Structure 1
Amino acid sequence: MNNINRMGLGVKKSLLYTCIVLSPVVPAFADIASIEKMLVIGSVEGARSLPGSGAVISSEQLRTEVTTDINQALKTVPGIYILEEDGLGLRPNIGIRGATSERSGKITLMEDGVLIAPAPYSNPEAYYFPTALRMSLFEVLKGAPLLRHGPQTTGGIVNMLSTPIPEEMSGSVLVTADQRGSSDIHAYFGGQTGDWRFLLETVQRNGEGFKDIDRSSQNPGYDISDYVFKLGWSGERQSVLLKLQSSDEISNETYLGLSDKDFNEDPNRRYGLSSIDEMDNDHQALNLSHVFKWSDTVTSTATVYRNDFARNWFKLSGGGDIVRAANEGGALEQAILDGSAEKDGLNYTNNNRKYISEGVQLNFDIEAGAHQFAVGLRRHHDEMDRFQVVDTYKQESNGDLVFQSRSSDTGQVSGSNNREEEADALSFWLTDSWQVSDALNINLALRYEDIESSRLEYSDTARTTFATDKNRQNDTAIWLPGVSFSFDVNDQIQLLAGVHKGFSPLGGGAKVSQDPEESKNWEAGVRFNNDHIFVETIAFYSDITDTTENCSVAAPCSNGDTSGSFALGESAVSGLELQVSAEAAIGAFQIPLDAAFTYTKAEITKDNAVSGFESGDKRKDVPGRVFSLRAGFEHQSGWNNYIVAKYIDEMCSVAGCNRTGDSYEETEELFVMDFISRYQLSQDVEIFLKTENIFDQQKIVSRNPDGARPNRPRTTLVGIQYDF
């Protein structure tokens, strides 16, 4: 990263200088509880009174449902679109309203209020995702209030709250195992002594997978180790928190899917061509946060952060072309997939990349009568170094894979396989929560983003020569205003509405001539809330100019590109979100109910001769209808049972699939139901059984990357949780 590091040196110096200046050291201290909770919303109740729309998945729900996969948790939130990939939730694809789901690159992802994507500005696609088991809370924020956060501000944000430091010396151990031999362990211990607090935590995951690889004994599973250490110091006016995290993953995962014919015969089959595919990654994070209470009305929070992520996904490249030809009736291509035909020149790419994301952010919370201001800035730098060596294999007629050559030995590694990308960003925000009266709250928001991004491609392995016409730069500066309000009609009915300007950065591969995606986003709704039932319905509409798709091998753009971005032109996303929560008592049973429904229409709104799309073409990865239902049967004896049902409509995997009528460009609708049974053995010990997908329904939930892909089949796990 020599060239990139030289260009980012000034930024790093400025980050250090800002950190020194903005972190006053005084002998007084503040309550560390305030720094532990880097919250966007805070609670389920808080989400139900926002001057915008949002949701909180509580620690109680996460514990009850034994959530190991964020995909399964977020499917119960209205306005969220989940595109499954591996059936295991290792690399979630999350979309929100007008932000499509490919690699979660169009939404803002945070952990404890800090950007967590590998390179949020230059390469936002989330090949790294925090381990769901060590999260205590998930928050989703949509509408104008999300302008407090960024950079992605069209659809929404997801903030994950890690395990907090316990108030007293205590801990917990969770152990699960399923019928295939997979196991999970989550353990933590911590507490307070004097002015100091600490937490030690680990998650150990050993997954056996659920697919069978042709002619191979290779286990299609994964091993994940995740460690966290927190150390806090607090007192009367000031608090400091250090968080260190380290994780590694080895997963025998592939991009290669199935032809439709083979999927219909056995959705859990994997071709022998993918038997040597493997993902190897590691992630390290450091967050140092400082809170200072300047007065009763002014508090500052300064955070310095750095995330390092390295991964090498060794996998077959170009497998999608073979699957596509087999779908079109190609007998030779089907034989190649079956392993009964020879095939020279199979390229397996070492998708080797290193990412750095670092910055400093400062926020002041100021109370001034009826106004609550938040004003702050963030200086951020991120970069990606890609050096991808290609190994060439031959498949013999018996299906064996024989190594032939390596690109670095026989020639130069150049072009898209040998490049660096970076982005420097300065962000500013100002929000005002104005309590105009007891009934009316107005939220004003203004955000500014100034981004400089660049890409350097090399024509030689030694990186002494730049590739011709491959040096790209893009500068963007944009103001993003927004306003929203909530109005209490009476003690039970509340109205809300808002409008804001949204934005999605282009990434490090953008050219000077390209404009970022911009949008105008409206929402309006009504809430009803009393002691027994909560009902919320919200209509939303996004008018998007310069609609872009982020291109990758995992999620190719609608024109087939696998790098850079692709502009579709103008589009609109409209829809309706509905959620209902209620609780009833029948004898000795308490019956909590939660239902959520989302209807969405996402389409191109203007003919575009350049992209080839027409008005009325559907956008990719946006289902028309999504529904979830959670129901509990809780008994005074401590034996509680729950069902969680989820439905997702079919989606286009390529924009405009409704016009082409190509069934190979569309996923299938899916309905699954989970069952959880928990029993409290004692005050400290609880046992549970969970069956996911109890009806064993498997459908084509994705066609990217490289073919038809299934959801997880019926899976039963048992476990125990001991709190001490």
Structure 2
Amino acid sequence: MQKPCHIRKKTLAALIGMAISATTQAETERLSQISIVGSAADVAAKAGSVQYLDNERLEQNEYTDIHRILREVPGVNVQEEEGFGLRPNIGIRGSGVSRSSNITLMEDGVLIAPAPYASPAAYYFPSAPRIHAVEVTKGPGMVQYGPRTLAGAVNMITRPIPFKEAGGMDVSGGQFGNYKLHGHYGAATETFGALIEGLRYGSDGFKDQDGGGDTGFDKNDFMAKFRINSGPDAERYQELNIKLGYADETSHMSYLGLTEADFDRDPYRRYAAAQEDVMNNDHKSVSVNHYIELSEMLELDTTVYHHQFHRNWYKTDKVDGTSISDILSDPSGNATALAVTKGEQAGTVDVKANNRDYTSEGVQSALGVRFNTGEAQHKLTVGARYHQDEMDRFQWVDEYSMSADGKMTLNSRGEPGSDSNRIESAKAFSAFVHDQVAYGKWGFQGGLRFETIDTERVEYAGTGRDSKDAVKKNSITAWVPGAGVTYQINDQWQVLAGIHKGFAPAGPGDNDADKEDSVNYELGARYQAANLGAEVIGFYNDFDNLLGECTAATGSGCDIGDQHNAGKVTVQGLEASVHYVLEQVGTRYPLMATYTYTDAEFGSSFSDGFWGEVEKGDKMSYLAPHQLYLSAGIVKTDWQAFLSAKYLDEMRTQAGSGSIPSDEKIDSHTVFDLTGQYNVTKDGAAYLKVDNLLDEEYMTARRPAGVRGGMPRTITVGYKMDF
């Protein structure tokens, strides 16, 4: 939810009158309204683990993949998929990574997943190149940002409207046909401001399709913002902000991976059966925000939002009647079907049209009050949100013939609605109260969240919407408390501790699935000096029940959309980070290191179509015990360069304990990235980016169907300028 703004009308008037520095300050003030943190300087006030990646940091690396952006954040787990980050798999503190469905995703403080309650799997995600800043939060402050308070929240901040005429452009191209065209322009008067931003980026793809074909993508993303604000002499300062967004994507991505033997020979091969696979989607959004300063100590912030998302992922589902997941999990037992998959033998290929429409809309409001009780300074926020969303699934399957020379020909088209015809919806009301208190060297924050959710799944008979085959309804109510404390030992050292309840609702129609519940603890310390900052936080999450959602992306033997109980699970770990800047005359050397240790194990034995065969004490899958990120840079007046490395420990792909079987293991690997920039003019710079500098060949997953690999070395050059 949004936080109240702390900008004042006199401050705004002064900012508009200033020059370049005004824009920077205004951005900071405006960010405090729509973000969890607001700026890196606000982190120390939080009794929990919080990271803020500002625009300077994002522009330094020029990443177009959110996985790469987040890899420096301790406590975050990601699973690469197609190498471009189009549909990210993000987890926090062992929450599970599949389609980022166990964390809270926001854009400018508003829920951004396609259907955050009814179907939270993130098949839509804001385009990484247009993200202005990123915030990641965990801990007791999560009571403000439901519905999922189990692990953490990721908030993407969009570009703010400038307080003076300003614009910029960024053009790049590189290997594999990679390209990016990005521009923005904005201007403002004393009482009006506007911004337009356009982005087109894509690639021909780095995988080689058997028989030839596209394995890349093209994506367009446009945003417009408008602001009307009262003048400096108004009795009560007000703002009305309107944001409009549109994005579309065509990507030739597939769930079809490789056998391990074929991966070892050529990790960038793609089998013939994927030649028709393509995702088409579009996303439309509108939000209207109103802010009013009721008094010097009281302010109200309200946002109404509406999002629509349509997607049809047309991709191979079965070959000769056998699912591609089953074929790739047992290649020798499905040798004939595998030969058809490779285009070496004639057979049939079923291609499913995963056609779905999503709607997400609501209104949220937060009232902020600042007051003192004795020597204690309070920032009290009371908020509420009404939200509703739905996912409309209307799918079908087309049948193709595969020839012995690897060509697919359409045999018959399926009737829309014949594969899956259902609507899942949710209506939710939530409210919270949160107080942040400063008292001498002590800081306290505490809050309570309330969620009441009604979900429904309507399954239709046949291909029409006249006859209902089944209607399943659920109602969930939850109270989510949280509290934390900090103590400032001296100017450099701070200690912190926190506890909060983790909660996530079960999905529509899952009468056998329980809501997710946990109690989460953390304890840590921070150090901040002139050029040196460090933080270490230990965490322990005690789950009464952990849920897993069956999606096509997981490749599990379960019904798509169903959720599955895992029962008791414990997750414990350590997050550490250190930042240091060595300064010499005319040169800076920024150094950074982050480390994450995570251990997650099941507390009971059970057998399940999603989780598999689980024994008490088994470790969770797709969770690397150790992660390490290192970055070193050199910054001169006219140029800069940064080298980074990400190490990921070996991990298991199935729950288990002891040594990891070779066919259930992803080996440890280290990936280096290099970026460099040269200032050609005062306002323009040329840059070079090399992802996977050493051309490491590494495995990223064994799901949903076979082995998948990461992006090879990719060189990109570009030019960006401000005007």
Instruction: Return the TM-score normalized by structure 1.
Output: 0.92
**Equivalent-residue separation in structure 1 for 2:667 and 2:135 (angstroms):** 28
Residues 169 and 184, structure 2, Cα contact 8 Å, conserved in 1: yes
In structure 2, how many angstroms separate the alpha carbons of the residues matched to 1:630 and 1:358?
A: 40
Check conservation: 2:604, 2:615, Cα contact below 8 A.
yes
Distance across 2 between alignment mates of 1:119 and 1:422: 8
State the match for 2:605 in structure 1: 607
State the SS of the aligned residue for 1:707. Answer: coil
For the 8 Å contact 2:205–2:217, the answer to whether it is kept is yes
Partner of 1:441: 443
Higher mean alpha-carbon deviation, 515-524 vs 49-58, is at 49-58
Could you tell me which residue of structure 1 aligns to residue 415 of structure 2? 408
**1:562 alignment counterpart:** 560
The answer to whether the 8 A contact 1:672-1:694 is kept is yes
Higher mean C-alpha displacement, 670-679 vs 456-465: 456-465
| Distance 1:660-1:628 versus aligned 2 partners, 3 A rule | closer
Aligned to 1:431: 434
Alignment-derived partner of residue 422 in structure 1: 425
Q: Using the alignment, how far apart are the partners of 1:421 and 1:72 within structure 2?
A: 33
Q: Deviations over 1:90-145 (max 9, x none)?
A: 11100001421100000000000000000000000000000111111000000001
The corresponding residue for 1:692 is 691
The equivalent of 1:522 in structure 2 is: 521
Matches for 1:192-341 after TM superposition, within 5 Å: 192-216=188-212, 218-235=213-230, 236=234, 237-317=237-317, 318-326=323-331, 328=332, 330-341=334-345
Partners of 2:228 and 2:11 lie apart in 1 by 8
Q: Distance in 1 between matches of 2:674 and 2:10?
A: 51
Q: Give 1:372 deviation, angstroms.
A: 1.1
Aligned pairs for 1:115-194 (under 5 A) are: 115-194=111-190
1:3 alignment partner in structure 2 = none
1:575 counterpart (573, 582, 587):
573
Amino acid at match of 1:62: L
In 1, Cα distance between equivalents of 2:621 and 2:472? 27
Counterpart Cα distance in 1 of 2:361 and 2:328: 40
Q: In the TM superposition, what is the alpha-carbon distance from 1:147 to its structure 2 partner?
A: 1.1
Closer, same or farther: CA 509–316 of 1 in aligned 2, 3 Å? farther
Alpha-carbon distance in 2 for matches of 1:406, 1:662: 42
Question: For 2:681, what is the secondary structure of its paired residue?
Answer: coil
Q: Does 1:532 align with 2:531?
A: yes
Residue type at the aligned position of 2:68: Q
CA offset at residue 253 of structure 1? 0.7
2-structure distance, mates of 1:350, 1:509: 23
Give the match's secondary structure for 2:59.
helix
Compute the displacement of 1:529 (Å): 1.2
Could you tell me which of 348, 358, 361 is aligned with 1:358?
A: 361
Distance in 1 separating the partners of 2:39 and 2:362: 28
Give the Cα separation in 2 of the matches to 1:562 and 1:627.
Answer: 34
1:509, distance to aligned residue in structure 2 (A):
3.6
Q: 1:24 — aligned with what?
A: none
What's the counterpart of residue 399 of structure 1? 406
Is 1:623 paired with 2:621? no
State the number of aligned residues: 685
Query: What code does the residue aligned with 1:366 have?
Result: V
Which of 456, 462, 465 is matched with 1:463 structurally?
Answer: 465
Aligned mates of 1:231, 1:245 — CA distance in 2: 12
Deviation at 1:572? Answer: 0.5
Query: Alignment identity in percent?
Result: 36
CA contact (8 A) 2:514 2:565 kept: no
* Equivalent residue, structure 2, for 1:710: 709
Give the secondary-structure state (helix, strand or coil) at the position aligned to 1:86: coil
**Cα displacement (A) at 1:285:** 0.4
Return the alpha-carbon distance in structure 2 between the equivalents of residues 358 and 279 of structure 1: 24
Distance in structure 1 (CA, Å) of the matches to 2:662 and 2:639: 46
| Aligned-residue offset at 1:663 | 3.1
1:667 correspondence with 2:671 = no
Q: Distance in 2 between matches of 1:29 and 1:76?
A: 35
> Contact 1:453–1:510 (CA<8 Å) still a contact in 2?
no
Tell me, in whole angstroms, the C-alpha distance in 1 between the residues paired with 2:96 and 2:386.
27
Contact 2:94 2:598 in 1 (8 A): no
The answer on whether the counterparts of 1:389 and 1:413 sit within 8 Å (CA) in structure 2 is yes
- Secondary structure at 2:468's aligned position in 1? coil
Question: Which secondary structure does the structure 2 equivalent of 1:471 belong to?
Answer: strand
Q: Counterparts of 1:28 and 1:238 in 2: how far apart (Å)?
A: 12
Counterpart CA distance in 1 for 2:474 and 2:274 is: 37
Task: Give 1:660 deviation, angstroms.
Answer: 9.3
Render the CA deviation track for 1:218-248: whole Å, top value 9, x for unaligned.
2211111111110001124100100000010
Gaps of 5+ in 1: 1-26
Match of 1:294, SS?
Answer: strand
**What CA deviation, in whole Å up to 9, does each residue of 1:470-510 have, x standing for no partner?**
42211100000010011001111100000000111112242
Matched, 1:58 2:60: no
**Post-superposition offset of 1:539:** 0.3
Secondary structure of the residue that 2:663 maps to in structure 1? Answer: helix
Output one character per residue of 1:621-649: Cα deviation in whole Å (capped at 9) or x when no partner: 2211111111111123x111110111112
- Does 2:343 correspond to 1:342? no
Q: By how many angstroms is 1:671 displaced? A: 0.7
1:701 maps onto 2:706 in alignment: no
Distance in 2 between residues matched to 1:609 and 1:132, nearest whole Å:
39
Give the AA of the match of 2:590: P
Does the 8 A contact of 1:501 with 1:521 survive in 2? Answer: yes
**C-alpha distance in 2, partners of 1:304/1:116?**
13
Give CA deviations for 1:316-341 in whole Å, capped at 9, x if unaligned.
01222221221x46432442232111
d(CA) in 2 for partners of 1:689, 1:641: 9
3-state DSSP of counterpart to 2:202:
strand
- Corresponding residue number in structure 1 for 2:589: 591
Q: Aligned with 1:263: secondary structure?
A: helix
8 Å CA contact 1:359, 1:378 repeated in 2: yes
On the 8 A contact 2:540/2:570 being kept in 1, the answer is yes
Q: Provide the rounded CA distance (Å) in 1 between the counterparts of 2:69 and 2:115.
A: 25
Amino acid in structure 2 at the alignment position of 1:189:
Y
Counterpart in 1 of 2:320? none
Q: Secondary structure at the match of 1:219?
A: coil
Once the two structures are superposed, residues 33-59 of structure 1 have per-residue CA deviations (whole angstroms, 9 ceiling, x without a partner) of: 655651111122222442111101111
State the partner residue of 2:69.
Answer: 73
Q: Which runs of 5+ in 2 are unaligned?
A: 1-8, 14-25, 318-322
Q: Please give the alpha-carbon distance, in whole angstroms, between the structure 1 residues aligned to 2:662 and 2:521.
A: 33
Please state how far the C-alpha of 1:194 moved relative to its aligned partner. 3.2
Q: Distance in 2 between matches of 1:553 and 1:514?
A: 19
Instruction: Determine if the alignment matches structure 1 residue 83 to structure 2 residue 79.
Output: yes
How many Å apart are 1:282 and its aligned residue? 0.2
Q: State whether residues 163 and 189 of structure 2, in contact with CA within 8 Å, keep that contact through their aligned partners in structure 1.
A: no
Looking at structure 1, the residues matched to 364 and 565 of structure 2 have their Cα atoms a distance apart, in angstroms, of: 32
Q: Is contact 2:513–2:563 with CA below 8 Å preserved after alignment?
A: no
- Per-residue Cα deviation, 1:575-600 (whole angstroms, up to 9, x for no partner): 00010000112454310111100000
What letter is aligned with 2:382?
Answer: V
Describe the SS at the equivalent of 1:640. strand
Q: Calculate the TM-score normalised by the size of structure 2.
A: 0.92
- Offset of 1:312 from its aligned partner? 0.4
